[in-house]
Structure formats: C-alpha cells, structure tokens
Structure 1
Amino acid sequence: MMNYLSCLKKIAFLLCTLAPVSCTQFLSIQPENEFLEEGVFSSMTSIHNALNGIYLRMAENDSYGGHMTMLSVDLLAQYYNTSNMAAGSLDEIVNYNYNHARAQTSFAATWASSYKIILNINNFIQQLPDVPEQVLPAAQRSILLGEAYALRAFMHFDMLRLYGPVYASSPNATAIPYVTAPNDDIFPLLPANQVLDAVIADLQRAAELLADDPVRTAGGRQAIVGNDSRTNFYRMRSRRMNYFAVLALHARVSLYAGDTAAAQRYAQNVIEESSPFFPWSDPDLSLSNASAPDRIFSSEILFGVENTNLYTLQRTYFSSSLGVNTVFTALPARLTEIFANTNDYRYRSSWFTDPSSYYPTVRTFYKFDEVNDENRLVRYFQPLIRISEMYYIMAECTRNADYLNQVRENRGLVAIGNAADLDTEIANEYRREFWGEGQTFFYYKRRNLSSIASGKRMETIAMGTAQYVVPLPLAERNYR
C-alpha cells in the first residue's frame, strides 16, 4: 500500500490547493495564484510567488497560523483552563489523550500540512539552481535558496520536537523522516540524533547562502518602497527566514541537542550583530491605554509569518465575548502566579477584563487582538523566533543571570540576584514571553521536566514520555 507521505509527494510538487484533491486530480488543476511546475520557474515574479506560497502555507491554521503556536502546542503547555469545555473538544489535547479522535485529527492535520510544505520546499530547492541567470541573478538565487534550506530545517526540527522522543533521555530513538526530495521515495524514520544532524547540515548551508542577506545591513523591517516587486521582495526580512533567524534557529537546535558550546556561540553571534536592527520594544507601546499598541513587541521578532487569519483566531478562541465553555483563558490563580508583577509589559498589554462579558472579573488574552491601522507593520505578524530567546539561551548556557536580566529590565521587571534559582527563573520567563507562540511546551520537553503546572487546577502534572511524545499519525504508522 502506498506510504502516507508518498501520496503527499505526488501532489505537492507545487503549492498545494486549499481544497482537498486526489493525487490524480491535482495534476489537472491550476488554482488561482498557483502555478504548474513547468511555469513556476520561468520568471522572477513566479519564482517569488512560489516562495511566498510556502510562507503562506506555513501561516495556515494547521501549521504556524494556529495549531503549532497558539492552539495545540500551547494547550500541551497547560496555558489554558479548559475544565468547562465539552468532551471531545481540544480539551483532549490538554489531557494528553492522544488516542482520542479529536487529538488524532488535530495532530494528523499538522503532520500532513507540515510535510506538504516540506515537499514544496524540496521542489523549490531542486528547481531553482537550473533557472537561467537572466531570469534570476546569482546573488538573489543564493538568498532564495538560503531561505528554502532554512525553512526545511525549521519544519523538520519542529516535527522532531513534537513527534520525536524526549531527546535528553532517548537521542537514538526512532523519530521522523527527513524528506529531501519532491518525489515518491519512501524516506525512513530516522533516529532523533540523525534528524538533528540533517537539520544542522541544512542550517549550515543556509547560513552560507545568506551571507549577503540585506538583513545584515538594513535590518528586518526595511519599508516597502514604490511598486517594484523585484526590489521589495528583499525588504521586510523579518517576515522571511533571514540570516539572523538562521543563526538563532541554530542556537535553538544546538541547545536541544545538548551542545551548549554551539548554542552559546550562535546565540552570542545573533545578539552582537542583530541587536542594532532588532531593538527592544518601546515600553510606551505596551501601555494598556496605548493608542497604537504593539502587544507582540514586533521590533524584537527575528522571524515571523504573515497570518491574515490571526484576528479571526483571536475572536474564535480568546475573545471575552465567548462563553465560559468555549473561551481559552487562564485559570485566574495561575495567571497571577505567572505574572506576579502586574507591571510586566507582557501582562499589561495582553490581559484585560471586560465588564460586559460573561465573566467581567476574569482576564482574557488580547495579545493577538486586531491592529486597526492598516499601515502599521505589526498587522498580521505571527512571531516564530524572538531575539529574547537568545538571551535565555545565553543565560542557560553560561549560568549568568545578567543575560536574563537584560530581558527582564526590558519587560518592566527588576533584576534577579545571584541567589535566585536560575533554572526556575528561566522557566518562568518562557511561560511569560512565549504565550501564544508555541515554544513553552518544547522548553519543558527539552528539559525533560518531571512535572509542570496544570492549566486547570493549582497543582502540578506528572510528565513523562506518554505526555511529551505525540504519536505519529495512524496513517503514517499503518502504511510503512
């Protein structure tokens, strides 16, 4: 029987349509704004559109526009009190009930979406070197290839973090396939350490290709000028996988692999070179009464995607207008524990009470509330890599609280002293910093913490392999 990923490979050599189609049907369809394989690489514009399509797929609900950030992965991190939600809802994910149909459906969709994106990336990597120089100059080709290799590493690494073993205790355990071609080959399930080797190889290649990335001289938020799409494509680099994001991802991956020397080296490189271009957010922008708030601290985001569904998700899951059985919000006592200091910029900008709601004294989550000014760069920006994470990595690797304090001081908090428990303080920072961004559960799993705070009750939950490892989808397991 055909392997689950094999079918995806057959249909994913171009940007996959939003509507499901069979492998045979797909080849005869040319959806609007998408391109058949032979037409994708015939012009600079179509090449740009192909790569843009990959980023757009990453921003969909089954991927980083929803379940890999604010939904499933944050539910695993116990951010939300889902006690009143009906059986069979996303509450099954909070309970780590991976055998339930609701959980299986959600994680199978994320798996399928991720590997479709990977296959599109592979097609891009395979085809781009053959594009004539007169269509795409070598310097631009290097940047686009660098982005593609980095995206392939990024996607595989998160599949490893979600579906792979607890690396700290089982680095040789079987994990996921590392797919490197857009064909129907069946790629074997690799041990976790071999997946990381492949991720690192792709990141090293990406960094070389992105050596002349404009982000290194103009930063990540260089404004769009005029209507020349060929020039503007290489602006706004924080919305693309840029050179600094590659180094930051390498630091993240190295720390996951237990290579603290490499993690420290890459994190330090990012801090030293990128800080002038990615400054700390202006505190005035996080005031509760700010006329034009920046609740995501956008100036600090090294890489994010454009999620045009962001505000719909905010209204669907976090709005104060929702009923108690449907809203995702924090247990009040847990929120108070996490944000012991209510002057914390992350608290004052993202958590509000609504006197007109069903529960007027309960704070709900506003981090991704709509930004009304259509000209502001913060609109629809879904954070995926932050410069603050580099300071957390440096603090963990060097055991130096000064790095942690640099973040705290730019969040309205006082510095911690030498007597503080550094690991506890770092864990608390992850809980505050990455709410809605899908990083905290992976921090817990990397550290292999034996217990974490429950989102439903003021108690802890025992954690182990059964909780940390999401099983591969049934379709993938059954067809191998």
Structure 2
Amino acid sequence: MKKLSIYITISFLALNFFSCKKSLNELPPQSKVEGNVIIDQKSAEVALNGVYYRFAEAGDDRGVQSTQTSYTHEKLPSSLAGFIENRTGASALNMNAVTPTAYDATYIWESAYLLINAANSVIKDVQLLPSNKIQEQRRNEILGEAYFMRAYGHYQLMAYYAQYFDVNSPYGVMIRDEPVTTSNIPATRKSVQESYDFILADVDKAIQDAPSAQSAKRVTSWTAKALKARILLNRGLESDFTEVVTLTKDIIANSPYLLEDHQEDIFKTKGLSSSEVMLGTVPFAAQVNKRDSYLYRDLPADIVKEPLSEIMNGDPRVAWCFHTVSDYLGISKFLGEQVEVGYMFRLTEVYLQEAEALLRSNGDIDEVKGLMKTVMGKAGITDFSSLDAITDRDELRMELYAETVRNLFCEDGQDWQALLRLPMAKIQELRPTIVSNTQFILPIPLVEFQRNPMIGDQNPGYIN
C-alpha cells in the first residue's frame, strides 16, 4: 500500500514541477503541474499534461515512476463494500469504521485536491492567454478537459466525504475554484446542493468543449456525458433518471465507443486500445505498482471475501477474475499483458447506468433486461432463462446490482456506489457493518481541520 508523505495543504504550497523521463498519454515528456507558467499553446499543453499526471496519481514507487491509482480508485472502495480484504486481516475499511486520523481517510482527499489544484491552474492561465498565443478551438478543448478533471475531483470528494445522497444536507464539498496560495487556504465547505450545482456546471462545460474524437487516454465530450450520468444516478432525484437515460442513449447510439465482444480481452490483452474504454490511465514503462498491489511476491495482496464470491458464483468471469494461490483466493482481473492500466470509464457502465435509471423510474422491464443481456453476453453468458423469469421489479433491481458488481468490481468505486444506491434495508442485509448512512462516507481527515479551521463541522458520526 502506498504511503502518503505529505498532506494536501503542503502539496498545494509546494507549487513544484513534476517531470519524468517517460512520456504519459503521448504528450510532451515534461509537465508543469501547478503554477503560472502558461505563456502560449505549447506550454498550455504541457500544463494540461500535468493534470493527467495528477489524474493518474503519478509519482515515485520505490524509485520507479509509476501511476498509483490501484489503491485509491480500485481497492479502497471495494474494501468498503466488503468485497476484498488484505491477506493479513480485516481493516477499518472492511469494518466501515475509518477514523479521521487514519491514512485511509486521506488517500482520496489528497489525490482529489491535487487534481483540482492542477486543473484550476490550467483553467485560470489558459483563459488569460491572448488570442495570438493559442488557437481558439484548442483553447476551448483544453478548458473542456480541465473542467472535466475539476468536476471529477470534486465529485470524488462528494461521493466519499459529503452527504451526496441528501440534497438538503449542509455537508457538501469544500469547493476550490482557483489555484491555492497562502492567502486562500482557509475555505468553508458548501452545502450538498451548492456542491452539485458547481460540479454539474463544470461537467456541462466539458460536454460542450472537450474533444469528441475517440480516445481512451484523454477526456472527450462523451466521457463527460458518462460522468454526468454517474453523478445523476448517485444523486437519485426523479428528474435525474430521465436525464441519465437521455445521456446514456446518446452515448450508446452516437459515440465512437463500442462494447468488446469478449470482456476478458479488455483487461488481458487490449487495455487502452479497446474500443470500450472511454478513459483510462497510461502506465509508465517500467512500473509494477499495480501488479504488486494485487499479487505481491506471488501471493494475493488481498483476498476475495464471501459477498463477492457469492455474487460471482457460477459466472464464467470467475475463471479469469479470480485465482487461488496457497489457498488464498485473489483478484486476477487485471493480471495479464495490460496489468498496469487503470480503467476509470468503460462503455459497459453506460449500459448498466441506463438499465438502472429505467428500472428506478418505472421504465419497461424488457428494455432493462435487454440492456443487461447485451452486457452479460459480452461476458460469455448464453443462458438468460433465470433473468427472463424475473417479473418483480425489486428482484430485478437486485440482479442488476449483482451484474454491476460482476462487471465493475475494483473499477473506480462503482461496486461501492452501486451498493449504496440500494434501499437501506438491503444495504444492511448485504453489509451488516453498516448501521447508518453516516457510514456511506468517510470522515474528513483531521489534518484538514488543523490547517483549515474554517472548513466547518466534521461529518456526522465522526469525532475529531
């Protein structure tokens, strides 16, 4: 597990260069992550590259430049959901009992604000560039990509540290809309409604201005639509479901992304060359960070827990998603030629988003089943008789939840969020350690209160 060496406030004040010898996302080999160095289009591209470095959590892993998203975006949320556990024993994550002083409270918090700060630097300086220093179309595209990253970072904070499930709650996100300096560190968290308004405004800018051409390495307007659908589905207002269906139908019908015929190929051989991957992270050539995260010294670093093995029981994906070594059942989903790639958005999620939005808005059951069958068929399932036999909407919702987990476990928290979208009684049945919705989110790290006394109250259910 990676250890964080600095807290977010210190990171903001450093305003240092992040450079590397290997290129990432096929962009210039050096990137300026924060700071006022954008003087023309070329330097704007370099600075934008720095935002992608932050997105990939690029850094030093035992002396090797590496992307380090496997814990923050994959294993941490799956541990919260009770699907995996460190081989050495259960953690506070597995018990849904993280404290404000724990490392686990800081990972997403720090990585999200580092990403936001890098995006804010690009937004501010690119907007100020004279028209003779940058092509207007590229200015807008760069801004669209940066707005996406700022929205993504703020939504990570919303999903893990704010009461995203209650639009009337005062416990929203501490919004950062400009680069952090010594004069603006103190900031107060917004309400949930204010937070949603800000995040969705950024997403809409990304939808409008980000490039539309297919890419798995860079933000596109299609990825922005998928992010908006993810946000709205988790917010869960009645009007949100209608918009989710509109967004997902547009992506499925009109985007350049296509489902793979064999889901296994995405993770084992194709990686970011897959037509299904909408946005992923490009690894450095020599890194082994993610492999070690799942298979350390040839033993599973984490073991599969019963809730996940039960959901996967009898599914053909078990053959390549799990592996047993010395009686330990581990995750082999990512182990293969493309092991170090990180997957943030895939088209499969869009199909499942549409199915869930339809089901929760009293849509046609047969249409829901059709979307599910399309996805399940790509995973090697040929017998749909049990799915066809379901007539009860609540039963179908549980089957859709199970299929979401089978497809998206250990992928950017989608298994954890899918669990929390179920009715509370079902959540407690599946995850007995959750006794209150206060455990849906993590505590704000204690260090933030020490260095930013204006932030406001700690999340309910936690004591500093």
Q: TM-score, normalised by structure 1?
A: 0.76
Q: Counterpart of 1:443 in 2: which secondary structure? A: helix
Task: Identify if the C-alpha distance between structure 1 residues 298 and 347 changes in structure 2 by more than 3 Å, giving closer, same or farther.
Answer: farther
Matched, 1:141 2:139: yes
Matched, 1:381 2:341: yes
Instruction: Find the partner of 1:283 among 226, 238, 262.
Output: 262
Which consecutive residues of structure 2, in runs of 5 or more, have no partner in the other structure? 1-6, 21-28, 60-66, 360-367, 454-464
Cα distance in 2 for partners of 1:249, 1:99 equals 29
Cα distance in 2 for partners of 1:38, 1:472 equals 26
2:63 is aligned to none
Does the 8 Å CA contact 1:128/1:145 hold for their aligned counterparts? Answer: yes
Does the 8 Å CA contact 1:60/1:307 hold for their aligned counterparts? Answer: no
Instruction: Find the partner of 2:332 among 366, 375, 385.
Output: 366
How far is the alpha carbon of 1:460 from its aligned partner? 4.5
Instruction: Find the partner of 1:395 among 328, 334, 355.
Output: 355
What is the percent sequence identity of the aligned residues?
Answer: 20
1:157 is aligned to 155
Matched, 1:269 2:267: no
Does the 8 Å CA contact 2:160/2:442 hold for their aligned counterparts? Answer: yes
Which amino acid is 2:280 matched to? G
Does the 8 Å CA contact 1:247/1:266 hold for their aligned counterparts? Answer: yes
Measured against aligned partners, the alpha-carbon deviations of 1:364-393 in whole angstroms (never above 9, x if no partner) come to 32222241xxxxxx5743111121122112
Task: Identify if the C-alpha distance between structure 1 residues 238 and 17 changes in structure 2 by more than 3 Å, giving closer, same or farther.
Answer: closer
How far is the alpha carbon of 1:295 from its aligned partner? 7.4
Task: Identify if the C-alpha distance between structure 1 residues 36 and 245 changes in structure 2 by more than 3 Å, giving closer, same or farther.
Answer: closer
Instruction: Find the partner of 1:260 among 231, 241, 248.
Output: 241
2:292 is aligned to 316
Measured against aligned partners, the alpha-carbon deviations of 1:223-263 in whole angstroms (never above 9, x if no partner) come to xxxxxxxxxxxxxx221111100111111111222211111
Report how many aligned residue pairs link the two structures. Answer: 410
Which amino acid is 1:178 matched to? I
Which consecutive residues of structure 1, in runs of 5 or more, have no partner in the other structure? 19-31, 221-236, 372-377
Does the 8 Å CA contact 2:151/2:200 hold for their aligned counterparts? Answer: yes
Does the 8 Å CA contact 2:348/2:375 hold for their aligned counterparts? Answer: yes
Does the 8 Å CA contact 1:118/1:152 hold for their aligned counterparts? Answer: yes
How far is the alpha carbon of 1:307 from its aligned partner? 3.4
Does the 8 Å CA contact 2:31/2:49 hold for their aligned counterparts? Answer: no
Does the 8 Å CA contact 1:451/1:461 hold for their aligned counterparts? Answer: no
Measured against aligned partners, the alpha-carbon deviations of 1:157-198 in whole angstroms (never above 9, x if no partner) come to 111100112x33564231221110114423321111211111
Q: Counterpart of 1:279 in 2: which secondary structure? A: coil
1:374 is aligned to none
Give 1:193-204 correspondences, 5 Å limit: 193-204=193-204
Matched, 1:73 2:48: no
Q: Counterpart of 1:91 in 2: which secondary structure? A: coil
Which amino acid is 2:44 matched to? I
Cα distance in 1 for partners of 2:132, 2:199 equals 32
Does the 8 Å CA contact 1:146/1:206 hold for their aligned counterparts? Answer: yes
1:303 is aligned to 279
Give 1:11-410 correspondences, 5 Å limit: 11-12=14-15, 33-35=30-32, 40-60=37-57, 65-82=69-86, 85=88, 91-99=91-99, 101=101, 104-165=102-163, 167-169=164-166, 171-183=168-180, 184-185=183-184, 186-210=186-210, 213-215=211-213, 220=214, 237-258=215-236, 259-274=240-255, 277-283=256-262, 286=265, 293-294=269-270, 298-308=274-284, 312-319=288-295, 321-323=297-299, 327-331=301-305, 334-343=307-316, 346-353=317-324, 357-359=325-327, 362-371=328-337, 380-399=340-359, 400-410=368-378
Task: Identify if the C-alpha distance between structure 1 residues 99 and 335 changes in structure 2 by more than 3 Å, giving closer, same or farther.
Answer: closer
Does the 8 Å CA contact 1:310/1:382 hold for their aligned counterparts? Answer: no
Cα distance in 2 for partners of 1:366, 1:379 equals 9
Task: Identify if the C-alpha distance between structure 1 residues 163 and 450 changes in structure 2 by more than 3 Å, giving closer, same or farther.
Answer: farther
Which amino acid is 1:350 matched to? C
Q: TM-score, normalised by structure 2?
A: 0.78
1:227 is aligned to none
Cα distance in 2 for partners of 1:146, 1:363 equals 42
Cα distance in 2 for partners of 1:310, 1:74 equals 27
